[in-house]
A and B are shown apart, each in its own frame.
Chain A
Amino acid sequence: MTRSSQQRLRDELVASLALMAAVAAVPLAVTNDYWLGVLIVSMYFVFLAGGWNLLAGYAGQFSLAPATFAMLGAYGTGLLAYHWQVPAWASIPAGILAAALIGMTLGRIVMRLRGPYLALTTLSFAEIMRIVIGNSYDFTRGDLGLSVPALTNNRLVWYYVFVATVVLMQLALYALLRSRAGLYLMAIRDDEIGAASRGINTAFWKTAAFTLSTALAGLAGVLYAHFSSLVSPELGLILQTGLVICMVFIGGIASLVGPVFGAFLVYLASEALREAGGVQLIVFALLVILIARFFREGLWGLARRLLERPAP
Chain B
Amino acid sequence: MNALAARGIAKSFGGRKALDGVTFAIDYGELVGLIGPNGSGKTTLLNILSGHLVPDAGEILLDGKPMHGMTPVRAAHSGILRMFQLTRVFRRMSALDNLVTAGCALGLEFGAAQARARELVEELRLEHVATLDAGNLSGGQQKLLEFGCCFMVPPKIALLDEPFAAVHPTMKEIMAEFIRRRHAAGQTVLVVSHDMPVIVELCRSAICMNAGVVLAAGETREVLANHQVIEAYLGGEAA
Contacts of B65 in A (CB 8 A): none
Task: Report A155-197 residues with CB < 8 Å from chain B CB.
Answer: 180, 183-184, 186-187, 189-191, 193-197
CA distance A201 to B51 in the complex (A): 13
User: Are A198 and B76 touching (Cβ within 8 A)?
Assistant: yes
Q: Known: A183-B100, A197-B88. Is A5-B93 also a contact (CB below 8 A)?
A: yes
Contacts of A183 in B (CB 8 A): 93, 97, 100-101, 104
User: Are B89 and A194 touching (Cβ within 8 A)?
Assistant: yes
User: Are A198 and B149 touching (Cβ within 8 A)?
Assistant: yes
Contacts of A190 in B (CB 8 A): 89-93
User: Are A1 and B97 touching (Cβ within 8 A)?
Assistant: yes
User: Are B52 and A197 touching (Cβ within 8 A)?
Assistant: yes
Question: Does A202 touch B at the CB level, under 8 Å?
Answer: yes
CA distance A191 to B90 in the complex (A): 6
Compute the total of residue contacts between A and B using a CB distance below 8 Å: 87
Interface residues on B, range: 20 to 34
Contacts of B130 in A (CB 8 A): 2
What's the nearest-Cβ distance from chain A to residue B161, in Å? 11
User: Are A197 and B76 touching (Cβ within 8 A)?
Assistant: yes
Interface residues on A, range: 20 to 34
Q: Known: A193-B72, A198-B102. Is A186-B90 also a contact (CB below 8 A)?
A: yes
User: Are B101 and A198 touching (Cβ within 8 A)?
Assistant: yes
Question: Does A199 touch B at the CB level, under 8 Å?
Answer: yes
CA distance A201 to B52 in the complex (A): 14
User: Are B93 and A184 touching (Cβ within 8 A)?
Assistant: no
User: Are A5 and B97 touching (Cβ within 8 A)?
Assistant: yes
Contacts of B106 in A (CB 8 A): 198-199
Question: Does B136 touch A at the CB level, under 8 Å?
Answer: no
Q: Known: A186-B93, A187-B101. Is A196-B149 also a contact (CB below 8 A)?
A: no
- Beta-carbon contacts of B13-43 to A below 8 Å, as 1s and 0s? 0000000000000000000000000000000
User: Are A189 and B97 touching (Cβ within 8 A)?
Assistant: no
Contacts of B102 in A (CB 8 A): 198-199
User: Are B72 and A197 touching (Cβ within 8 A)?
Assistant: yes
Contacts of B76 in A (CB 8 A): 196-199
Contacts of A131 in B (CB 8 A): none
Task: Report A176-233 residues with CB < 8 Å from chain B CB.
Answer: 180, 183-184, 186-187, 189-191, 193-202
Contacts of A254 in B (CB 8 A): 92
Q: In this complex, what residue of A is CB-closest to B91?
A: A190
User: Are A5 and B88 touching (Cβ within 8 A)?
Assistant: no
Q: Known: A196-B73, A197-B52, A199-B106. Is A1-B90 also a contact (CB below 8 A)?
A: no
Question: Does B206 touch A at the CB level, under 8 Å?
Answer: no
Nearest 5 CB-CB pairs, A to B? A199-B76, A194-B88, A190-B90, A196-B72, A2-B96
Binding site for B on A (CB under 8 A): 1-2, 4-5, 180, 183-184, 186-187, 189-191, 193-202, 254
Given contacts A180-B101, A200-B73, 5 further A-B contacts (CB under 8 A): A1-B100, A190-B90, A191-B88, A196-B72, A197-B88
Binding site for A on B (CB under 8 A): 50, 52, 71-73, 75-77, 81-82, 84, 88-94, 96-97, 100-102, 104-106, 110, 114, 117, 130-131, 149
